[in-house]
Amino acid sequence: METETVSELMDHISEKKLEIALKINTTVRAEMGAFLRDRGFVEIPPVIFSTVTDPLNHPVYDPSFEYEGTRYALTKSMIFHKQIIVQKIPKIFTFSPNVRLEMPEKAKTGRHLLEFTQLDLEVKGATREELMQLGEELFIHTVSKVMEKHSEELAMLGRKLHVPAKPFKAYKYTEAEARYGPEFESILSEKSTDPFWIIDIPLKQREFYDREKDDEPGILRDMDLIYPEGYCEALSGGEREYDLERIKERILKKGQTFEQFKWFLEFAKGGLELSCGFGIGIERFVRYICGFQRIEDVHPFPKVPGKVSV
Ligand code: ASN
């Protein structure tokens, strides 16, 4: 495993481009928070560890520990906490630190960190289409504010941005895959100059918790927002499964156990209502805005897969 030396760390934290990225990061967080507060969202504190966390749909190592006889996992996403609290407070968001111990080869993508923050939000009773509109407005608001406040810094980085028009283009997952093959997401991202959506993602590509379409079994009412210029995934979300029997069916279909999600299932027994939400990775957003090849350039202490880091 590659080890970071103190002089490498010193070089990294002294870089001008890191300083610019952190100033832009400050604006991104402030503007995203302000946008949501203005629309009546309530900010909830992050959950760092829990008895239940996101199973994800790809392999990662599983950091967990025991405290007083109970096993806790570090948060991979606050998906279940969002779905629970939104039943009582109908519009919530949080800046959620997530730990995902990705396999070392993920370092090649330039967009994976073992520790990152996502702005995670959820709205009770909302549809996917409403949340796609919210996502577009949030993106446009934030990029416009960064362009307004950081024109000098963006010029220093040689980064030219523009504000895309609404609504963003949307591709159905299976249609895009049939046309461009398994690498469709990066092919389309490289060809595009504006962000776009991938919608209707098949069940096998996603976790158990997103809602299946009534008229198209096996296809979910979910969405990913993809950055243009090859920057790939920005945001991921969907309408949630809320019927207890369907939730249980979906857990079994994924080969998972009720035991794994017992705290969530216990709560769901009391009845859940439809909600929809998404999460957008902050470091990836800043990387896209800055036009950087590598995500570690936006973080002073990046945890790069396969590397020992401070
Ligand atoms: N935050 C995502 C969502 O709301 C879930 C995730 O990060 N895996 O759907």
Listed range (2-11, 93-102, 202-211, 301-310) with the worst mean pLDDT? 2-11
Please state the rounded mean pLDDT for residues 7-31.
Answer: 96
Q: Whose CA is nearest to atom 1 of ligand 1?
A: 279
Question: Cβ distance 250 to 209 under 8 Å?
Answer: yes
Distance CA 220, CA 202 (A): 6
pLDDT at 4: 77
Instruction: Give the distance (Å) from ligand 1 centre to CA of residue 79.
Output: 6
Torsion region of 165: left, alpha or beta (phi above 0 gives left; psi -120 to 50 gives alpha): beta
Q: Is 93 helix (H, G, I), strand (E, B) or coil?
A: strand
pLDDT at 1: 66
* CA–centroid distance, residue 60 to ligand 1 (Å): 15
Q: Work out the percent of the chain whose per-residue pLDDT is above 70.
A: 100
Nearest to 132 by CA among 210, 197, 43, 194: 197
CA of 15 to the centre of ligand 1 (A): 32
- Tens digit of each residue's pLDDT (9 = 90 or more) over 255-301: 999 999 999 999 999 999 999 999 999 999 999 999 999 999 999 99
**And the tokens for 308?**
């020992």
Question: Taking a C-beta distance cutoff of 8 angstroms, is the pair 77, 209 a contact?
Answer: no
Residue 174 identity (one-letter amino acid): T
Is the model's pLDDT at 230 over the cut of 70?
Answer: yes
> Distances from the Cα of 145 to the Cαs of 2, 28, 60, 157, 282, in angstroms?
38, 8, 35, 17, 15
Dihedral (CA of 249, 250, 253, 255) sign: negative
Distance CA 281, CA 284 (A): 5
User: In 3D, which of 192, 277, 196, 183 has the Cα closest to residue 234?
Assistant: 196
Q: Give residue 226 CA to ligand 1 midpoint distance, Å.
A: 14
Determine the pLDDT at residue 34.
Answer: 98
Rg from Cα positions in the chain: 19
305 lines ligand 1 (CB under 6 A): no
Mean pLDDT along residues 42-71 = 97
- Is residue 278 in contact with ligand 1, taking CB distance under 6 Å? yes
- Residue 78 CA, closest ligand 1 atom number: 1
Q: How confident is the model at residue 12 (pLDDT cuts 50, 70, 90)?
A: very high
- Which of these ranges, 3-17, 58-72, 270-284, has the smallest mean pLDDT? 3-17
Q: Provide the percentage of residues in the chain whose pLDDT is more than 90.
A: 96
Residue 58, pLDDT score: 95
Q: Hey, whose CA ends up nearest to atom 6 of ligand 1?
A: 77
**Most informative mutation of 83, 241, 278 for ligand 1 (most atoms within 8 A of CB):** 278
Q: State residue 196's pLDDT score.
A: 98
State the pLDDT at residue 227: 98
Q: Is the CB of 53 under 6 A from ligand 1?
A: no
Query: What is residue 51's predicted lDDT score, i.e. its pLDDT?
Result: 97
Residue 296: closest CA among 68, 18, 60: 18
Contact 44, 92 (CB under 8 A): yes
pLDDT computed for residue 309 by the predictor: 87
Angle, CA 258 vertex, CA 254 and CA 262 arms, to 5°: 130
Expressed in angstroms and rounded, the spacing between residue 87 Cα and the centre of ligand 1 is 17
CA–centroid distance, 237 to ligand 1, in Å, is: 5
Instruction: Give me 246's structure tokens.
Output: 């369907």
For the chain, list the domains and their CATH numbers: 2-169+241-308 (3.30.930.10)
Whether 222 lines ligand 1, by a CB cut-off of 6 Å, is: no
Our CA angle for 100, 131, 57, nearest 5°, is: 30
* Residue bearing the CA closest to ligand 1, atom 9: 237
Strand partners, 43: 93
96 lines ligand 1 (CB under 6 A): no
**Cβ count within 10 A of residue 46:** 16
- State the pLDDT confidence band at 5, using cuts at 50, 70 and 90: confident
pTM value? 0.97
Neighbouring residues of 257: CB distance < 8 A, sequence distance ≥ 6: 251
**Is there a contact between 115 and 303 (Cβ–Cβ < 8 Å)?**
yes
More confident residue, 1 or 66: 66
CA 157 to centroid of ligand 1, rounded, Å: 31
Find the mean pLDDT for residues 152-180. 98
From the CB of 279, is ligand 1 less than 6 Å away? Answer: yes
- Centre of ligand 1 to C-alpha 56, Å, is 9
Q: Is 261 helix (H, G, I), strand (E, B) or coil?
A: helix
Instruction: Please give the structure tokens belonging to residue 223.
Output: 């969405």
- Lookup: tokens for 60: 């990662």
Residue 278 CA: nearest ligand 1 atom is 4
